[in-house]
Amino acid sequence: MVENPLGVANMKRITLVVAMIVLTLVVPSPAAAQNRYIVRTTGGLSSVLNLCNLLQCQVQGGLDGQVGQTFLVTGSNNLLANLVNGTVRLLESLLGIVSIEADRLLPIPQAPLPSIPSGLYDSAPVNYYGTIVWHGYADQPAAQIIRLQDTQNGFGIAGTGIVAVIDTGVDVNHPVLYPVMLQGYDFTRNQPGASEWLDVPGYQNGYVDTGAQNQQPGYVQQSTAAVLDQSTAAVLDGKDYTAFGHGTMTSGLIHLIAPRTKILPLKAFSSNGTGYLSNIVAALYYAVQHNANVVNMSFDLTSSSPSLNQAVTYANKAGVVLVAAAGNESTSAPVYPAALDGFVVGIASTSNYDTLSSFSNYGAVDVWIAAPGEDIVSTFPGGTYASASGTSFSSPMVAGTVALMLSAAEQPVNQSQAAKALANAQKLTPNLNNGRLNVYQAVASWVSTGSR
């Protein structure tokens, strides 16, 4: 039994005050299915337990690891819902409750169907930093545009440190990614590991298509073209798999830019492209507490979140660099976390002709710089490759660039230092802020000025 540190008299007073707060708000509607809430407190677990004793809710667990101030709470009544948009000031003074936020189910941004680039037909094997990859992946147009090879060869760097990827998971057995893959965590199941294959019935142990290089590329979902055998493609062609492979592709692009960097996969989204805000918050804290240097976030929220903002602040104070997709809504309206200026670098998408992608968000609110994001070729579950478009695939190129900066100067780089170096980009149009990523100029800037 958890002791009540507030005392019986205080608890009676709090019970009365909470009851008054609830009664002054909207009258509760009939009980519904389990609702989810993110509760932040300065009073630790005991204060949230006391809150739930009063409001008939259940504490499911902490979201911030060793910090002990952010918790997931569920309840079948609407008492907590009445407090989400109401005042929690009295609760803060009595219980230490700072905020109560409805947990949201968020989508991974969808982008237009890509064309099938020539890189998906270019399966010639090449040695890429100790692993055999397709030439169409290693030497794709995006890599040439951002001067990747010039940077790797000119500075003699291939990345270092750890980049955490908050996404749909990864193909942990992909031959290209396996050597740099850390175990990670699956927040959708609350267990170690982050395999995308767990979302596919009958493929829990993964699947490696040894004959993929002999197959013709084709569309396997609404936003991805991949090289797969027909039976696997048929399994993945459905609404439950619209985002399958997303995490493996973003991880593959980090590896393309910084092939010596370790990747920490954090599965916060399912293969259908949705994930709870609470899983994202938990993943961000996990990344910091498991020594990540950079976090890639290829997702966006249309409105701000107190719990996510707090997690971002926590990461910044720990010296972790945060990179986020600017979104695929073709708007200058703010999306989060990309719009958290000074705390996150938001990344737009450009074409292989150095123009703003038609689907990409734009404007200084969301965008720090842009990076190629059309018809990108990357790794895909099954030991194969795929092509997709979206700011989701621009963001990891920038995250990988920060990992290159780490290896160039052999010392930590924080958010403001990374942003300053990345701003040395190829100027394009004002709605792309500092311009399009130039990896060579970013690293050169960091080596010459930022690391001193």
Q: What is the pLDDT of residues 170-214, one digit of tens each?
A: 999 999 999 999 999 999 999 999 999 999 988 877 766 656 667
CATH topology for the 8-103 domain: Alpha-Beta Plaits (3.30.70)
189, 144 contact by CB (below 8 A): no
Q: Which pTM does this prediction carry?
A: 0.92
Going by DSSP bridges, is the β-strand pair 218-221/191-192 parallel, antiparallel, or unpaired? unpaired
Residue 216's pLDDT is 86
Residue 30's pLDDT is 43
Q: What is the mean pLDDT of residues 419-429?
A: 97
Catalytic residue selected from 392, 394, 395, 407: 392
Domain ranges of the chain: 8-103, 118-450
- Annotation says 290 is catalytic: no
Cβ partners under 8 Å of residue 364, min gap 6: 433
Backbone φ, ψ for residue 378 (5° rounding): -150, 175
End-to-end CA gap in the chain: 54
Which of residues 19 and 135 earns the better pLDDT score?
135
Q: Which alpha helices (H) appear in 205-298, and where do they start and end?
A: 230-236, 246-257, 277-289
Q: What is the CATH number of domain 118-450?
A: 3.40.50.200
Residue 89's pLDDT is 61
Residue 3's pLDDT is 45
Tokens matching residue 113: 């169907």
Whether 147 has a pLDDT exceeding 80, the answer reads yes
Catalytic residue selected from 209, 300, 366, 375: 209
- Annotation says 171 is catalytic: no
Question: Edge-to-edge strands of the sheet including 345-350?
Answer: 191-192, 185-186, 262-267, 162-167, 294-297, 321-325, 345-350, 369-372
* Angle, alpha carbons 145-146-152 (nearest 5°): 120
Catalytic residue selected from 167, 246, 357, 375: 246
Whether 80 has a pLDDT exceeding 80, the answer reads no
Q: What is the pLDDT of residues 432-452, one digit of tens each?
A: 999 999 999 999 999 998 555
Q: Alpha-carbon distance 368 to 121, whole Å?
A: 34
> How high is the mean pLDDT of the chain?
89
- Annotation says 76 is catalytic: no
Q: What is the pLDDT of residues 3-48, one digit of tens each?
A: 444 455 555 555 445 544 444 444 444 445 689 999 999 999 999 9
Going by DSSP bridges, is the β-strand pair 125-128/131-134 parallel, antiparallel, or unpaired? antiparallel
Counting beta carbons within 10 angstroms of the beta carbon of residue 102, is it exposed (0 to 12), middle (13 to 18) or buried (19 or more)? Answer: middle
